[in-house]
Structures are given as C-alpha cells and as structure tokens.
Amino acid sequence: MRIISKKTLRDFYEQPNYADSKYALESWHYEVLKRDWNNPNEIKAQYKSASIVGDNKVVFNICGNKYRLIVKINYIAKIVFIKFIGTRKQYEKIKVEDL
C-alpha cells in the first residue's frame, strides 16, 4: 500500500509530548507499506483491535490504545490516506465521519 503521508506521522511523533509513539508509528508505517489490502476484512485479520468505521475509514490503536490513528483507504488504488493522529482524548472530540 502507498501511504499519504508519512510526514503527518513524523510531525506527530517529533513533538516532545508524543515522542513515545515514534516506534509504534514507524512500525505501523513499515507494515502497511508491505500490505496489499483489498477489503476491511484483510485489515481486521492483521489488526484485531482496528475499528472499521465506514466510508473506508479505519481506526488503529497505537501504543496500547494511548493514541488513535485514523486512515481512509482506497482499496482499488492501494492508497492509505492518514486523516488523524492524536491521543484518545483528542480522538473523543472529533467526528470521524467529518474527516
């Protein structure tokens, strides 16, 4: 899969308060680059705690659910668009459907 954009992840984990997310986000990025997902079921097979939230959006738990990563996936084009990365508290303040 192609990921748009790693800079979003980097901008997040380079902030001092979120530096503990670097390893987990880098690992997620590396794993997803190697994947070729065709549907949400294939994601759930790999990431049991991922939530499929509709409109091809997926919520991944990062660092033991300390952070949430929301992506939108175009399965045909094989592109993962990063829509949000933040703490659980920040996640609770957003509307996923608006992303």
Q: Residue 90 — pLDDT band, cuts 50, 70, 90?
A: very high
CA distances, 29 to each of 3, 23, 50, 94, 97 (Å): 8, 10, 15, 23, 23
**Sequence-ordered alpha helix ranges (H) in the chain:** 6-13, 22-33, 40-46, 88-92
Residue 96: pLDDT over 90: no
Tokens encoding 64: 């033991």
* Predicted model pTM: 0.92
Residue 45: pLDDT over 90: yes
CA-based radius of gyration for the chain = 13
Question: What tens digit of pLDDT does each residue of 51-89 get?
Answer: 999 889 999 999 999 999 999 999 999 999 999 999 999
For residues 10-38, give the mean pLDDT.
96
